[in-house]
Structure formats: structure tokens, C-alpha cells
Amino acid sequence: MGTRALVGYLDTNGDLKLTSTYNHYDGYPQNLGKGLESFYNTDAKAEEIANVGYISFLDGETGEWEAKNKQMPDVTKLTDNFEEAMMEIAGEIDGMSADYGYIWDNENQEWITVKNEGIGSMAKNLALDLSHLKGKFEISPEQTMEVKKEVKEGYYGTTNAEYYLQTIGYDSFEDFFNDNPAAEKVLIDWIESIPEFREKIDGEEMMEGKTKKDKVELDEYFINKMKFRAGIIK
């Protein structure tokens, strides 16, 4: 049965790139996925199979493969932005008209299986499964500034900023800072400037039900919370 699949080796230790092979028949997890897990589950073997280029069929019971055609593997240089890279990988899977993608995670030493339900859906699932690799990528300056803007607009609480972080694949500021040292410096510098910024808002309308003293204490709480998450204070 012609169930196409992409078999890819994701390299995040050097140049960010995906090396991938096209598989034509029986690319289901019950066959191809099983064969990869059983016979190509080391870094060296995963890289080897991803460099074949074209596979007609891989036997899930024996790991042996056959090819009616010869071709070079596809090598895709990935952008250094994590979310965009996941879109690029999803695009490669879809570009092969593959029903499934099997991506070797060379950090956790395991195969990640993604079903083709559209590029957006695949990119989202890849981002979840490979979230531990974010530190290998860099966040774009535009996203860093967007986080900064959301923090500034919501500095009486973290709801707005943390919601935005989740939309770009982060559960907390701690995760964001850990994965993005450059962004961390930008945000820490800005956090340090908040007390000066607060002095300029004395004329603003007080929060409903809050006195000026409550408002200042709330500012201090948020600043300290951010500094703690950034590792400035313990």
C-alpha cells in the first residue's frame, strides 16, 4: 500500500538541518515506525537510514529495506527560530505528500512520529514533542520585543505576558529565559528599569479598590517575581 512517509534526521549539534529520506510503501507506524524503533534506534543508525534518499519499502519485522529508485537525501538547512524551523520540517513532510513523518531527535535519542493533518497541525505537534530543543535555536528579535511589550502592558500581573509566551511555545518566563540568553538580557535590563518607570505613573488613575500604597507593593511584588524567575535574586 502506498502510504508515503518521511524519515528524517534532525541535527541540532552543528548546523541546524534536517536530512530526510522518502519512503513510498507502508509508512504506517505499525510497520515503518516499528522498524525504525527496532532497528534504527541509535544516533548512528538513524542518521544512516535518513541518508538513504529513497526507500520503496522497509520491513518492520526485519529492518531490511529495498529501493526501486536511487536518489540523494534531501538536506534542509533550518532557520534558527524554533517555531519557524518546526514549520519548515512540517513543510518538508507535506512536500513529499507523506502521510507520516518520523523525525530522529538526536538529543533524546528517539524517533518522533507525526501524522500529516496539515502543516500547521504538524508544526504544533513537533513543537510540543521537540520543545526541549528550543535552547538549540534562537528566538527572533521581533518575538523578544513582543514579550517585552506584553510584560509592560501587564506588569500588574503576568497573565498577558505568560499567555503570549504560551503562544510561542513557552510555559513560563523561566523556560523562556533558559532557552534565550540574548532575550534574557534584554528583558532583565528592562525589568531593572521598572522602578524608574513606576515613578512616572504617579498621576495615573489608581486601580479600582487599590490605594497607592497597595499599587506600589504590587509593583514590587511583580518586579521581585520577575527577578526571581530570571535568577537575579534567590
Looking at residue 201, what is its pLDDT?
39
Looking at residue 80, what is its pLDDT?
83
Mean pLDDT of 51-80: 95
Looking at residue 159, what is its pLDDT?
46
Looking at residue 222, what is its pLDDT?
55
Secondary structure (DSSP) of 187-226: HHHHHHTHHHHHHTTTTSPPPTT--HHHHHHHHHHHHHHH
Reported confidence tier of residue 13, pLDDT bands at 50, 70, 90: confident
Mean pLDDT of 158-169: 57
50 or 143, which is more confident?
50
Residue 49 CA: distances (Å) to CA of 6, 12, 23, 43: 11, 18, 11, 10
187 or 36, which is more confident?
36
Amino acid at 212: K
Residue 201's φ and ψ, nearest 5 degrees, are -110, 15
Name the strand (E) or helix (H) holding 100: strand 100-105
Name the strand (E) or helix (H) holding 135: none
Amino acid at 225: K
Q: What is the pTM of this model?
A: 0.62
Mean pLDDT of 145-170: 56
- 82-105 pLDDT tens trace: 888 999 999 999 999 999 999 999
Residue 114's φ and ψ, nearest 5 degrees, are -135, 130
Reported confidence tier of residue 198, pLDDT bands at 50, 70, 90: very low
Q: Is the pLDDT of residue 60 over 60?
A: yes
Mean pLDDT of 179-206: 51
Q: Is the pLDDT of residue 74 over 80?
A: yes
Q: What is the CA radius of gyration of the chain?
A: 23
Looking at residue 132, what is its pLDDT?
85
Percent of the chain with pLDDT over 70: 59
Reported confidence tier of residue 1, pLDDT bands at 50, 70, 90: low
Strands (E), 12-53: 17-23
CA atoms of 233 and 105, how far apart (whole Å): 34
Mean pLDDT of 176-204: 53
The average confidence (pLDDT) of the chain is 77
- 120-144 pLDDT tens trace: 999 999 999 998 888 788 766 666 6
CB 33 within 8 A of CB 111: yes
Reported confidence tier of residue 220, pLDDT bands at 50, 70, 90: low
